[in-house]
Amino acid sequence: MNADNRITEHQRTILKTYTQMMRAADAVTTRMHRHLADTGLTLSQFGVLEVLYHKGPLCQRDIGRKILKTSGNMTTVIDNLEKRRLVVRKQDPTDRRRTSVQLTESGLDLIQALFPIHAERAEKTFAVLPAEELEILGRLLKKVGKTNVTAAESVTRRTP
């Protein structure tokens, strides 16, 4: 029996859309971050530098939430950035349990040099879409993402 006969037309459309979305995401990610190869930065390390550049010092947990990484992974990413002297951890003087991560001067110099290249790549990558379609795409992706984050959180809360 052909597996295609066991799914509905709607499910087939959803699966096709999912495949298209994943292929597009892979292509966009590859193109957007190709410039990082010369810097020795990983995608996650760039994400940390970028969020600190835009948001200022943050605790490790908040950085992980912003760039969608687990706390265990964030520890390694930040350790490696610290070894390169691009970020520094500083203990909060009013709450010793809280440590913030902030850019060093070298980290700031690097992200200030890289971010315009990143923005230009983003513009070229999405140039295929007129502004109206780009806004629609953004709204649709946000809708799918928010709905599924909420669903995943409720499943996680129910799991013992």
pLDDT at 70: 75
Q: Could you tell me the pTM of the whole model?
A: 0.79
Task: Give the single-character DSSP code of 93.
Answer: T
Whether residue 61 is predicted with pLDDT greater than 50 in this model: the reply is: yes
| Residue range 84-106, pLDDT digits in tens | 999 999 988 888 888 899 999 99
Helices H / strands E in the chain, number of each: 6, 3
Question: Residue 159 — pLDDT band, cuts 50, 70, 90?
Answer: very low
What architecture is domain 7-128? Orthogonal Bundle (1.10)
Sign for the pseudo-dihedral over CA of 121, 126, 130, 135? negative
What are the percentages of helix, strand and coil residues in the chain, rounded to 5?
70, 10, 20
DSSP calls for 13-78 = HHHHHHHHHHHHHHHHHHHHHGGGTTTT--HHHHHHHHHHHHH-SEEHHHHHHHHT--HHHHHHHH
Question: Residue 35 — pLDDT band, cuts 50, 70, 90?
Answer: confident
